[in-house]
Amino acid sequence: MTPPLLDLSRVARTYRNGDVVVEALKPLDLVVGAGECIAVMGPSGSGKSTFLHVLGCLDRPTAGTYRLDGRDVTTLSDRELAGVRNRQIGFVFQRFHLLRDETALRNVELPLRYAGVGRAERRRRAGAALEAVGLAARTTHVPGRLSGGEQQRVAIARALVKEPRLVLADEPTGNLDTASGDAVLAMLDALHDRGVTVILITHDLEVARHGGRQLTIRNGVVAEVSPSVVPRIAGGGG
Q: What pLDDT is attached to residue 184?
A: 83
pLDDT score, position 190: 86
The residues near 212 (Cβ < 8 Å, ≥ 6 apart) are 36, 37, 38, 227, 232, 238
Q: What is the DSSP string of 42-74?
A: --TTSSHHHHHHHHTTSS--SEEEEEETTEEGG
Tell me the C-alpha to C-alpha distance, in Å, between residue 114 and each of 108, 110, 166: 11, 6, 18
pLDDT tens digits along 54-66: 999 999 999 999 9
Positions in the chain whose pLDDT score sits under 50:
228-238
Whether 153 and 184 have beta carbons less than 8 Å apart is answered as: yes
- CATH classification for the domain delimited by 6-98+164-225, as one of 2.60.120.620, 3.40.50.10610, 3.30.365.10, 3.40.50.300: 3.40.50.300
pLDDT by residue (tens digit) across 111-159?
Answer: 898 888 999 999 999 999 999 888 999 999 999 999 988 998 899 899 8
In 3-state terms the chain splits into helix, strand, coil percentages (rounded to 5) of: 35, 25, 35
Residues 6+ apart with CB under 8 A from 67: 3, 4, 6, 7, 8, 9, 73
